Structure 1
């Protein structure tokens, strides 16, 4: 029986997932049967969905042993392996004949569809399916993570399902390799996602894979490979200067209550340096009095870090509009929309150069500044303005809650001249 296809185009072979060394220590331990393909440095592997112990596996024939004491379904498994091998060889030959090349991703997908579309006696354990496992993981974390984080993970899950639909496959942990990584990134680019959004989804995917690894559900560590990276780039994130914040604060929005409320919540963020999850929804319980000094105590939702921020006169001016209380909490979509409206109304329309990688292509242009204002701009403005004023980074971090200077400096959006002036103000030449 011909069990391995070897040609100038590529090699197919079947083998057990676990190493021979480990299986020799436990000859009765069952291991998944894998199909491996290699062609000029490009590789992929597929779980067949059946298992065998080393003592029942013929490594020379790459089939289940038959004869006395054989597995009850040995002939059926071998017939299935024969079918997959025949199909794989025919598809490979067809590709070479028609295109004079091998599309490894397409070949992998076709074989995966054949494997999943053919009736098998034993189904792959549901926990070995990436999406199924990740859905359960996300549900178990739902009460312990923020709404934004939950939404982000859920978006990644939807994209993994889209991948399975487009490629007509069911992803198992064994099938996650660099070929999958590249085709998943290609799909996200085709969907028009920016580079940083793609990086976010890869980061979420790696969280799913790491959890499965830690819990012994998977032993696949390919996601730790340096090529399995979460791409990112520095985006055009702006900040509002102290002068711009003053202009925004003075604008009368009393006839537009939603815009006024959003503007005031945003101002609280500019004055406290917190994330929107912390500055949107503050109440009386957050205020403490320490010998006449009013402080806002915040337990940051993302890090559980506790910070204290003084109730400065600008914060008090905002609170006067709400009977000396903080503005009521607002849903984030409405907040984001009305912050942009407020910034447009005060003519923050200076054209700003922007560039980002979207859909795999570099996109450049100019947009009005108000369109770039986000809820996070408040935190970035706080950090940048105090930095430009010459305040020490360590002192700014006391209030912002950044744990490392490396993380802090990601927030700073100043030109080289401003950096030099900030160093001078800090006493560099004194």
Structure 2
């Protein structure tokens, strides 16, 4: 007997489903049940925990959902049910072709699921050999085995790997998976602070190391620290180091542009073509609330018109989430100005440089408190690049504006004015807690902004 069904194993309110395949092997009078799990890391299987446990798992309620007048509910239930049947038939067909089921491993099942989720996927022949639970070797194994890592994620992994190698060299040690514990946490935080890394960077590094350790435990059956959840760094807000009020220093907020400043940028008609192009790109990013990796690649082929409404349909590069957004009158004016075309694509670096010039020419140059990337150390191996860190201080606002400021400004300016659910729909945030990380206005600024919109 063999079967397959969904499980919800995430601790979060929304997460990916897990496919569980179960079969029985007869051992005389004592049959043995075997089961394999595989995470369904694809947007088709990203569901709400309460919906799955209370509705989908109940056959009667599931059938009601599949016949619901609500098209969205009907689609979710029907698609999940159809996918479950397809995967079940696929796995059972391959299982029946196995002569000796007792020889199967969880990797057999995971390869079938990976091939289904990502057609054409083939596990890389090269597998890193893990010797002595070496941490960096496990990191390399993770990178080689995972088939769906985004290019930016792979780059970040390379940065963390280089950082770990420097850490090992400075302390003259070789890290093992079992070394990632609370003692390591304290030493790593101390080392990171000495090297002037921001608190957010330290927190993300430790989060990633926990991920690698969990992978080592679940996929490689390696021993890890049993209280791994303690290997974290409480993200501290950056405080003003120049304030006279040492007991309650002002928090340094990331720069954003107010609605009035956005209007000043839009009204500036005295810009050369390359800055006009960058300005329009920024305004589109602001109006759609998207990441720079998405709005810089918008194309007219992504446009749709439904019931007279112009929308843009695309998949977010970072989250792979399908987005369908109505375009504002400001974006439509930009498209009309450009004969239906989006502004010309440029590199991230050029865009970040150009938008600072746009702000300067739009008189957005007041001095504010912020964090600016500055060369703080000269690397003996590469004096031109040096070592850059975020340094708190008072700077011209234009110097703190970059591509991501558009998304941050969208969330900040609309919070408390639009329904939170609408902002989250545009930005693609799955929780309000994630959205709140983007709200950068001070309380008095938010109160005055909301007052302007009261009727």
User: C-alpha offsets along residues 215-273 of structure 1, whole Å, 9 cap, x if unaligned?
Assistant: 1342213562435335443652122122211211232465352x333322211101111
Q: In the aligned structure 2, how far is the partner of 1:154 from the partner of 1:230?
A: 24
- Secondary structure of the residue aligned to 2:370 is strand
Q: In the aligned structure 2, how far is the partner of 1:145 from the partner of 1:264?
A: 31
Structure-2-length-normalised TM-score = 0.59
Structure-1-length-normalised TM-score = 0.62
> Per the alignment, do residues 221 and 159 of structure 1 end up closer, same or farther by CA in structure 2, a change over 3 Å counting?
same
Q: In the aligned structure 2, how far is the partner of 1:363 from the partner of 1:312?
A: 36
Relative to structure 2, which stretch is displaced further, 220-229 or 340-349? 220-229
Within-5 A mapping of 1:2-401: 125-126=130-131, 128-141=133-146, 144-221=148-225, 224-226=228-230, 228-229=232-233, 231-233=235-237, 235-252=252-269, 255-257=272-274, 259-320=275-336, 322-354=338-370, 364-387=392-415, 390-401=417-428
CA contact (8 A) 1:128 1:172 kept: yes
> Per the alignment, do residues 147 and 349 of structure 1 end up closer, same or farther by CA in structure 2, a change over 3 Å counting?
farther
- 1:324 CA drift (Å): 1.7
User: C-alpha offsets along residues 2-29 of structure 1, whole Å, 9 cap, x if unaligned?
Assistant: xxxxxxxxxxxxxxxxxxxxxxxxxxxx
> Per the alignment, do residues 203 and 333 of structure 1 end up closer, same or farther by CA in structure 2, a change over 3 Å counting?
farther
> Per the alignment, do residues 165 and 148 of structure 1 end up closer, same or farther by CA in structure 2, a change over 3 Å counting?
same
> Per the alignment, do residues 336 and 136 of structure 1 end up closer, same or farther by CA in structure 2, a change over 3 Å counting?
farther
> Per the alignment, do residues 403 and 319 of structure 1 end up closer, same or farther by CA in structure 2, a change over 3 Å counting?
same
Q: In the aligned structure 2, how far is the partner of 1:173 from the partner of 1:419?
A: 46
> Per the alignment, do residues 250 and 400 of structure 1 end up closer, same or farther by CA in structure 2, a change over 3 Å counting?
same
> Per the alignment, do residues 291 and 155 of structure 1 end up closer, same or farther by CA in structure 2, a change over 3 Å counting?
same
> Per the alignment, do residues 275 and 125 of structure 1 end up closer, same or farther by CA in structure 2, a change over 3 Å counting?
closer
User: C-alpha offsets along residues 181-240 of structure 1, whole Å, 9 cap, x if unaligned?
Assistant: 222222222222121122222222222222112213422135624353354436521221
Relative to structure 2, which stretch is displaced further, 287-296 or 216-225? 216-225
State the partner residue of 1:411. Answer: 438
- Secondary structure of the residue aligned to 1:215 is helix
Q: In the aligned structure 1, how far is the partner of 2:152 from the partner of 2:236?
A: 19
- 1:381 CA drift (Å): 1.3
RMSD across aligned C-alpha pairs, in angstroms? 3.1
> Per the alignment, do residues 324 and 156 of structure 1 end up closer, same or farther by CA in structure 2, a change over 3 Å counting?
same
CA contact (8 A) 2:203 2:234 kept: yes
Equivalenced residue count is 301
User: C-alpha offsets along residues 308-367 of structure 1, whole Å, 9 cap, x if unaligned?
Assistant: 2222221123234543211233222222222222222222111112379x99x9975311
CA contact (8 A) 2:300 2:340 kept: no
Q: In the aligned structure 1, how far is the partner of 2:227 from the partner of 2:144?
A: 23
Gaps of 5+ in 1: 1-123
- 1:295 CA drift (Å): 0.5
- Secondary structure of the residue aligned to 1:126 is coil
Relative to structure 2, which stretch is displaced further, 215-224 or 190-199? 215-224
- Of the two, which has the highest radius of gyration? 1
CA contact (8 A) 1:128 1:173 kept: yes
User: C-alpha offsets along residues 364-417 of structure 1, whole Å, 9 cap, x if unaligned?
Assistant: 5311111221222111211222225x2221222222222222222222222323
Q: Which has the bigger relative contact order, CA under 8 A and spacing at least 6?
A: 1
User: C-alpha offsets along residues 35-72 of structure 1, whole Å, 9 cap, x if unaligned?
Assistant: xxxxxxxxxxxxxxxxxxxxxxxxxxxxxxxxxxxxxx
- Secondary structure of the residue aligned to 1:266 is helix
CA contact (8 A) 1:340 1:374 kept: yes
